[in-house]
Each structure stands twice: as C-alpha cells, then as structure tokens.
Amino acid sequence: MRAIPLRRYLLFVAIVLLGTVADLTTKSWIFARLWQRPEVLEIVPGFVELEVSLNQGALFGIGQGMTRLFAALSILALLGVAYWLFWLGEIRKLWLCVALAAVTAGILGNLYDRLALHGMVWPPNYELAGEPIHAVRDWILLRYGDYRWPNFNIADSLLVCGAIMIGIEGLREQRRAASAGTDEGAPSNDD
C-alpha cells in the first residue's frame, strides 16, 4: 500500500477548519443581530432571506427534541468518517477527501450547537427560560412565491454537498468496477 501524502491530510484539515469556522462565525454573527428581533432580512427579495430559527431535531426538523440522539449519531458519524478515511486509506482519493472533509465540517458545526457550546439560553418568554439551548442555529431562508424551504445554515450546506459528492463517487466506482469487469472479459450487468 502506497504512503499517503502529507498534503492530503493538510487539505482535509484545512477544509474542516474553514468550513467549521465559516459555519460558526456566520451563526454567531446573524444570531447576535436577529435573535431578539423577529425580523427577516431580505437579501434577494422574494427568494433569499435571513431569518433565525432553532432546530432541536435533524433534517427538515424531523425528530424535534431528540437532540441527545442526534449528538450521539454525530459522534458516531465522525468516527465512521475517520475509519473510512484513515483506517481504510480512502484519504488517498482526492474527491473523497474533499467530500468527507465537507461532511466533517458540517457535523462539527451542528454538533457544536447541539452541545450548546454557543452559550445561548432560552429567553424569559419560553418554557425553558434560562436553560441552555441545545438546538442547531439556522438562518438561511429560501423562498419562491408561497413556497418556503426550511431554514438551514452553512453546516447543512456542507453536509449536503459532501453527501452528493459521496454519491457521485459511488456511481463512479460502480462504473469503474463494471468497466474493469468488461475489460477482463467478464459479463457485464449493464443491460
């Protein structure tokens, strides 16, 4: 097995750091300005807006209140990424290195929120007033007419982009395997 170049590790760490810092910095900045005000800032009127919301669940708000479960799943996912990249050596593949770095940054950004490391507490008008907020801070809102996409953040975007890249790599692997099978004279399943 060939050695993994240092630059691949540096690329992974750089993407994880940049993605995580971008996510946490934008969340902090937007929430500092809009958290106490139920205000929506239009960036592209009718299409792109800034609106803060808290998600105590996962994708599209599924599993509200199950923050501990999602935090545990996030930690397991981080372990899975480490295993895939470093133990199995997939960090050698540039595409997977970038994809899994994006996923890792997304996981870390949202895990930070779920663990309430941001220091936010529920305001007085909430049932949990004064308690730490264990919820993902979302702030990007996309609309088209009456349709409203659920609020999201940079970490969510990194997770989605990384997952799409992993899917593309899976398709590419299937093509390579099919091509290798055909090249060797083996029957192909591409009917």
Whether 188 is covered by a domain: the verdict is no
Whether 32 is covered by a domain: the verdict is yes
pLDDT beyond 80 at 160: yes
Per residue in 54-97, pLDDT tens?
Answer: 998 887 777 787 888 999 999 999 999 999 999 998 899 999 99
Q: Which of 23, 113, 138, 190 is catalytic?
A: 138
Identify the residue with better confidence: 106 or 178.
Answer: 106
Distance, CA of 138 to CA of 54 (rounded, Å): 6
Q: Which of 113, 146, 156, 190 is catalytic?
A: 156
Q: Which two tokens stand for residue 161?
A: 């982009």
pLDDT class of 172 with cuts at 50, 70, 90: very high
**Annotation marks residue 138 as catalytic:** yes
Whether 150 is covered by a domain: the verdict is yes
Whether 51 is covered by a domain: the verdict is yes
35 close to 118: Cβ distance less than 8 angstroms: no
Q: Is 52 helix (H, G, I), strand (E, B) or coil?
A: strand
Whether 190 is covered by a domain: the verdict is no
Whether 189 is covered by a domain: the verdict is no
Task: Look at residue 56 in the predicted model and tell me its pLDDT.
Answer: 87
Number of domains within the chain: 1
**Annotation marks residue 183 as catalytic:** no
54-71 in b/e form (b: 16+ CB < 10 A) is: bbbbbeeeeeeeebeebb
Find the domain containing 73 and state its range: 6-183
What is the average per-residue pLDDT within 113-131? 88
Whether 191 is covered by a domain: the verdict is no
